[in-house]
Structure 1
């Protein structure tokens, strides 16, 4: 979930930067409205879309990434998941980040319901009348002016000469269903209460709504008079995020500037075509992305490049030997590494020999997971005073004799690296991988996450 949240925030940040740099000052208000509605939703959907054809455009890594292992030292059972990370938990705690996340959602939902209650209470307790198909709610002793769906809230202290202008303005909000836009962002604010970009999106949408309403109203009345109406009011606006306020001091200057701005040239519509390459790039990223420790595997060269280098080296040392990627030939004294995606017969863990070929991969992964779970010293959490998630990535190879070699680890703490190396070095002898009937070396990467909960 954390990986998904980070991707969502990154995509929204990128979309907002593009809007502020290229689109915000254009007078294509309806296009901007579509952009501000589409991009936050796209940011939520794109991380879960995986397109296989996109993945094939990017060469596969040279090593095979093993499934994750979830270890709970407080329990006697081992949990194994087909995910690219190993989790080691030394204890359980109510105050995990997931709990705080869900608690924040509940609080945000309660705040939203309180706002709705206040709005409904205002409607019920105020004088109401129908005018041009709208429900006018009169608020006593106030200069407030805002709308919510089919309701227009107007203070009884608003000057009579501005009444018609304000009503026309709020009518635009109602006819164009602007309240639906703002309620969408309210929902996002509840689910992603911790994400400041959602609030920024909503603020930009509120401003855009005012631009749209202003632009349509001034078509039927004098602009100068409209400016004076904006500037002469005593600003009194309820601080409710999902209403469309007429008087909002922070927006007055922006609205007047936009009203005096010349219409954008039609050629500038091409800016919105930026959405196509942006979305395609994000789809390419999410289709090829692996949540756990892709950094280690991406540091390596692609399987074709890595294998080709070894083949070139072997050909220099053995000019009479013909070697091809698809037809690896080797002598007993030549050690050739073959990536998991290429090797015809991958290594077999002890005990998986009699398992059907189609199930040997799962058997291998399960045995590795079980071994790590039984041998990793989870007491290191207490000894080292660790907290939170400690990510470890282990690289190792199963050589042509079936032995483990070249074990390397990367972790935030040296003792975690040493423990991971110790455990992997204890793996039993296996049946080596074979290519064209010859034993070969096969590399692997095993990510581990040591989750310490107090």
Structure 2
């Protein structure tokens, strides 16, 4: 009870100081951490002990265990006995049990409320459409609501967003909440309210933290937009609906304070004086709310009996018997010995023991914590001692501990952090040159660009279970080749196992020139059961804990006697792939007459090259060119059962109306960011990107494997990407490029591990 009263009073005093001296200052980020610190210190400070010297020497008291009964004095024992034996004692109402029951019930209600609120918000984030808007994830809600944020998500009303968009002021405000991780502060306070719902300071702290969050977000917003216009928007949005307790939203009751703080100017001298006053106040709180413990008079110690008298002395079976006492002390061999030593002396004692494998018997006083026990066993390990016999309170041998196991675990954990040089130290590399010549090299002898291209050392792989649709599709032997736990299986094998048995899979698209007679399928899928997944990718699997053995073959584009420097030039690499793409595109009939599989491969290469061209530096782009669109000079038009192609001059008036309007010329754009946003091309791109993201996400939510829908979304991706590439460099900094929809991706590493 004393602890709780101290904790409550400590937090209230810290919050009162904040309210009187700090809240009105432009110290928003300092105030944020002050408030969190105040909550933490109010729970921890009452546990802190301050020793006060006691000048009175105290006598040593020998405590003995008499079958668990504590006997303080004859009078106390007689009093306790009489209370226990009185048959006429009136029955007392179980107030204590009632209080515990009520406390538990209210705590359960707060716990239910906490997890329910989080679940509601997570369900909203997962069940509604999500789009990436200026590097932030927006969740489009069907319900009419004001924008608010939670964790990495900004929630907005879908219809309002599609019709009017999201104003820069509100977006910057909510983006600040997300980037500053304000939700974590509120989650922390709400979690503390579960066991400490009776702590009034927590409710005050939560209100202060929320208000300070709004100050921080307002400051971020007015740095990007005009303050007056932002305040007008703030007033228009002041009246809001009921809000979730874990979200940051605009609140009418706080509007006046927030607008006042926007106009506040930082006054360094006044702020410095307040912070200086904080130092002595914290000292007083530290001294006043810590527990004061009298330090015993340090008189000479003549005799200490820590263990029961009947505990036997060291037997010849053990090289040493070790008694771990309390307060960092130990005794060797004889429990009645007066030679009580400090743990700091243990290393010196062990250094004097004979150099052989020792077996040590260890008694542990029940007053020791696990941390103190671990500290002692660590000293034993450092001196090469591997075997300890642990003994219980009755002096019976209970367990033989092999400390080598601890070394094994430490070794395994450290090996997960191997560098590339360590991981490939036992790997043989074969460089395959264009003329077919092979050259063997070690990792150290590889050129730096080839080292950089090697996969990183293995890291933890999260299990990815297949969906029911994926599992059923794999039964098609014409489309998929299957491996189960590393062994080839017929597709019919899936009829003998259940979907739940597959805990992880990965698949890859196989290009025509890489297919074989045995595996002519378009896709190869590797499936893993639980045991095989743990053996292959688990915490202690060999690939994660040992250097890679075997051979890695790396194709090299340049002749053996030529420098590797050109391989590091991104323009040279891009031009080689661009040349190969154009040769493949121009070989044989036109793209529109090629078979469907060739069209898909060319489209994928075109998208890949478009992304690589976009990532080139401005000066590098002048040395090369963009990839030619596969359709050029044709235009692809949609019909009910698919698509058809026509030249622009052959289009009818109705078909011309179906085409999107051409973008305005780039030189018509103004230089400032504010006018660029309103330019025709940039505005068109933003609308196209939003529409594309909406369709892409809706397709993911309603995935059916319909090839026509997949082709449509890829075609839209091409259109959006082409508009993005048409933007100038200044405009590209204002928006994000479109992200490719799900599609089998090509392997980006130029190596095959044998």
Provide the TM-score with structure 2 as the length reference.
0.34
Which of 179, 186, 206 is 2:190 aligned to?
186
Q: Deviations over 1:170-219 (max 9, x none)?
A: 11111111111111111121121111210110111111011011111101
Tell me if the contact between 2:10 and 2:289 (Cα under 8 Å) persists in the aligned partners: no
Please state whether the residue corresponding to 1:18 is helix, strand or coil.
helix
Alpha-carbon distance in 2 for matches of 1:61, 1:111: 54
Which of 240, 243, 246 is 1:242 aligned to?
246
Alpha-carbon distance in 2 for matches of 1:264, 1:97: 50
Which of 210, 213, 216 is 2:214 aligned to?
210
Aligned to 2:496: none
Q: How does 1:93-242 map to 2 (within 5 A)?
A: 93=94, 95-155=97-157, 156-157=159-160, 160=164, 163-233=167-237, 235-242=239-246
- Greater RCO (CA < 8 Å, at least 6 residues apart): 1
Aligned to 1:18: 17
Shift of 1:139: 1.7
Change (3 A) 1:79 1:17: farther
- The worse-fitting range, judged by mean Cα deviation, of 132-141 and 205-214 is 132-141
Alpha-carbon distance in 2 for matches of 1:80, 1:103: 38
Alpha-carbon distance in 2 for matches of 1:116, 1:278: 37
Q: Deviations over 1:286-322 (max 9, x none)?
A: 45547xxx9xxxxxxxxxxxxxxxxxxxxxxxxxxxx
2:284 paired with 1:281: yes
Alpha-carbon distance in 1 for matches of 2:71, 2:273: 50
Alpha-carbon distance in 2 for matches of 1:181, 1:136: 21
Alpha-carbon distance in 2 for matches of 1:157, 1:191: 40
Change (3 A) 1:161 1:234: farther
Aligned to 1:353: none
Alpha-carbon distance in 1 for matches of 2:240, 2:192: 27
Please state whether the residue corresponding to 1:244 is helix, strand or coil.
coil
Tell me if the contact between 1:144 and 1:238 (Cα under 8 Å) persists in the aligned partners: no
Aligned to 1:4: 3
Aligned to 2:540: none
What's the Cα RMSD here? 3.8
Alpha-carbon distance in 2 for matches of 1:25, 1:61: 51
- The worse-fitting range, judged by mean Cα deviation, of 124-133 and 253-262 is 124-133
Tell me if the contact between 1:12 and 1:40 (Cα under 8 Å) persists in the aligned partners: yes
Alpha-carbon distance in 1 for matches of 2:56, 2:117: 52
Change (3 A) 1:63 1:8: farther
Shift of 1:132: 2.6
Alpha-carbon distance in 1 for matches of 2:17, 2:137: 39
Alpha-carbon distance in 1 for matches of 2:289, 2:240: 46
Aligned to 1:315: none
Aligned to 1:46: 45
Alpha-carbon distance in 2 for matches of 1:101, 1:11: 22
Tell me if the contact between 2:117 and 2:245 (Cα under 8 Å) persists in the aligned partners: no
Aligned to 2:262: 259
Shift of 1:267: 4.3
Alpha-carbon distance in 2 for matches of 1:358, 1:49: 28
Alpha-carbon distance in 2 for matches of 1:145, 1:97: 42
Structure 1: where are the runs of 5+ without partners? Answer: 67-76, 295-340, 345-355, 360-454
Please state whether the residue corresponding to 1:51 is helix, strand or coil.
strand
Q: Deviations over 1:377-431 (max 9, x none)?
A: xxxxxxxxxxxxxxxxxxxxxxxxxxxxxxxxxxxxxxxxxxxxxxxxxxxxxxx
Alpha-carbon distance in 1 for matches of 2:138, 2:276: 41
Q: Deviations over 1:356-380 (max 9, x none)?
A: 9767xxxxxxxxxxxxxxxxxxxxx
- The worse-fitting range, judged by mean Cα deviation, of 22-31 and 274-283 is 274-283
Structure with greater Cα Rg: 2
Alpha-carbon distance in 2 for matches of 1:9, 1:122: 36
Change (3 A) 1:250 1:22: same
Tell me if the contact between 1:169 and 1:217 (Cα under 8 Å) persists in the aligned partners: yes
Change (3 A) 1:289 1:174: same
Q: How does 1:433-448 map to 2 (within 5 A)?
A: none
Alpha-carbon distance in 1 for matches of 2:71, 2:128: 60
Shift of 1:18: 0.6
Tell me if the contact between 1:50 and 1:283 (Cα under 8 Å) persists in the aligned partners: no
How many positions carry a matched residue from both structures?
282
Shift of 1:268: 1.0
Aligned to 1:27: 26
Change (3 A) 1:196 1:287: closer
Please state whether the residue corresponding to 2:35 is helix, strand or coil.
helix
Shift of 1:279: 3.4
Tell me if the contact between 2:8 and 2:200 (Cα under 8 Å) persists in the aligned partners: no
